[in-house]
């Protein structure tokens, strides 16, 4: 209890902490929100990209930060700001998936055709081609996972979040996180095996 | 290497592979931050007022609880009062008169004794 209180007091007094900046935001300092944006936008952007792809990515990032701004008054000072922001990110990604569910198949075929029309890299080295090829495989492997499995795998293996924090973000027990992670990895491994990737 | 170690090793290699070959998100539009901040300023909420209103909402509980506690303490410590009947009043009056008479007669006797002894 004492440790929590002292951590809060310390974070409140530290001029660069998220909590301190949030306090300024709540007093109407929008520039402080700009500092929070600069600090966290890369993680938000990367997560949204892995979950939703590049289509309309800027709009999604904007939606996340607008929701965060509107919800700042509800943010509990004892909570971790990054966890809270990841939760908003996950909600925005889920909303996006739901709204795009009807046209997903059409998008996939378009993406496939775009992938097939990747320009030839005759002048590039073999390593660069391999990198592009493997990036494409990982992206396609992630795309074929269910949204639940993909979310857990992206947050854990790509964003490096601990399982406990993922459980808090997604709102599921830690055991379920472990289970989903296991199945997601197995499915991705099978996909990569089928594409001739030996790990 | 047992089966569990083998599985763990395979998982670690898989994680390393997807981390190494993860696609990098395209860079944001140059004016994205400005756009977000502009929207925020446009719809700027009276955050401080809302939060201060919320935080001071419970303050009315302080005087109310003080008054309630005082009332309870007063009720507990208050001596029990019962209504006096005419008979009770007469008995008390008689008792006071008797007591007063005895006290005055004893006082005069003791005064006389004192005077006698002094002389």
* B9 assigned to some structural domain: no
pLDDT of res. A75: 84
pLDDT of res. B46: 44
CA gap A154, B19 in Å, rounded? 10
- Is the pLDDT reported for residue A107 higher than 70? no
Put simply, whether B22 touches A (Cβ < 8 Å) is yes
Number of domains in chain B: 1
* B41 assigned to some structural domain: no
Q: Furthest-apart CA pair in chain A: how many Å?
A: 63
Domain holding B108, by residue range, is 95-119
Put simply, whether B19 touches A (Cβ < 8 Å) is yes
Put simply, whether B21 touches A (Cβ < 8 Å) is yes
Instruction: Calculate the alpha carbon distances from B80 to A11, B74, B77, B83, B95 in Å.
Output: 56, 12, 9, 10, 22
pLDDT of res. B32: 93
- Is the pLDDT reported for residue A113 higher than 60? no
* B100 assigned to some structural domain: yes
List, for residues A146-188, the tens digit of each pLDDT value.
999 999 999 999 999 999 999 999 999 999 999 999 999 999 9
Which residues in chain B land under pLDDT 70?
1, 44-58, 79-82, 106-119
Look at residue B73 and give its three-state secondary structure: helix
- Per-state percent for chain B, helix, strand, coil, to nearest 5: 80, 0, 20
Look at residue A60 and give its three-state secondary structure: helix
Tokens of B98: 């008797």
Q: Which residue has the higher pLDDT, A48 or A78?
A: A48
- Is the pLDDT reported for residue A96 higher than 60? yes
CA gap A75, A87 in Å, rounded? 12
List, for residues B12-23, the tens digit of each pLDDT value.
999 999 999 998
Put simply, whether A61 touches B (Cβ < 8 Å) is yes
Q: Which residue has the higher pLDDT, A15 or B77?
A: B77
* B119 assigned to some structural domain: yes
Boundaries of every domain in chain A: 1-117, 119-199
Put simply, whether A195 touches B (Cβ < 8 Å) is no
* B117 assigned to some structural domain: yes
List, for residues A169-180, the tens digit of each pLDDT value.
999 999 999 999
∠ CA A59-A63-A67, rounded to 5°: 175
- Is the pLDDT reported for residue A106 higher than 70? no
pLDDT of res. B62: 83
> What class does CATH assign to A119-199?
mainly alpha
Tokens of A131: 């990198």
pLDDT of res. B61: 81
CA gap B97, B103 in Å, rounded? 10
CB pairs under 8 A between A and B: 98
Task: Report ipTM (2 d.p.).
Answer: 0.73
**CB-closest option in A27, A57, A137 to B48:** A27
B positions 49-68 inside 8 Å of A (CB)? 50-51, 54
CATH T-level assignment (fold) for domain A1-117: Rna Polymerase Sigma Factor; Chain: A (1.10.1740)
Q: How far is A102 from chain B (nearest CA, A)?
A: 24
Residues A61-79, mean pLDDT to the nearest whole number: 88
Give me the count of residues in chain A: 199
Q: Which residues of A91-128 are buried (b: 16+ CB within 10 A; e: fewer)?
A: ebbeebeeeeeeeeeeeeeebeeeeeeeeeeeeeeeee
Residue of A nearest to B31 (CA): A58
CB contact (8 A) between residue B32 and residue A61: yes
CB contact (8 A) between residue A58 and residue B29: yes
- Is the pLDDT reported for residue A116 higher than 70? no
CB neighbour class for A186 (10 Å; exposed up to 12, middle 13-18, buried from 19): middle
Residues A135-140, mean pLDDT to the nearest whole number: 91
Considering only CA atoms, which of A14, A74, A183, A60 is closest in space to residue B26?
A60
What is the model's pTM? 0.64
Residue of A nearest to B16 (CA): A157
* B109 assigned to some structural domain: yes
């Amino acid at each position: 209890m004492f440790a929590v209180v002292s951590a809060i007091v310390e974070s409140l007094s530290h001029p660069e902490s998220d909590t301190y900046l949030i306090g300024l935001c709540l007093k109407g300092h929008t520039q402080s929100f700009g500092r929070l944006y600069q600090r966290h936008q890369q993680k938000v952007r990367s997560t949204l990209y892995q979950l939703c792809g590049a289509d309309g990515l800027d709009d999604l990032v904007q939606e996340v930060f607008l929701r965060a701004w509107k919800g700042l008054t509800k943010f509990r000072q004892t909570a971790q700001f990054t966890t809270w922001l990841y939760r908003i990110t996950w909600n925005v990604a889920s909303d996006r998936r739901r709204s795009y569910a009807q046209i997903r198949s059409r998008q996939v075929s378009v993406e496939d055709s775009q992938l097939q029309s990747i320009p030839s890299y005759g002048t590039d080295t073999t390593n660069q081609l391999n990198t592009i090829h493997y990036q494409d495989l990982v992206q396609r492997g992630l795309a074929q996972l269910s949204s639940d499995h993909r979310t857990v795998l992206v947050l854990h293996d790509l964003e490096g979040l601990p399982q406990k924090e993922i459980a808090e973000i997604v709102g599921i027990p830690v055991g379920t996180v472990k289970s989903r992670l296991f199945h997601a990895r197995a499915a991705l491994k099978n996909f990569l095996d089928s594409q001739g990737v030996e790990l | 290497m047992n089966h569990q170690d083998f599985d763990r090793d395979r998982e670690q290699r898989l994680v390393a592979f997807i981390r190494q070959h993860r696609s990098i998100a395209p860079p944001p539009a140059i004016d994205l931050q400005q756009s977000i901040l502009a929207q925020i300023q446009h719809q700027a909420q009276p955050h401080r007022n809302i939060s201060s209103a919320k935080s001071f909402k419970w303050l009315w509980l302080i005087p109310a609880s003080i008054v309630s506690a005082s009332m309870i303490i007063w009720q507990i410590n208050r001596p029990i009062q019962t209504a006096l009947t005419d008979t009770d009043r007469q008995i008390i009056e008689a008792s006071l008169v008797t007591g007063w008479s005895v006290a005055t007669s004893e006082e005069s006797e003791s005064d006389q004794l004192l005077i006698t002894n002094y002389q």
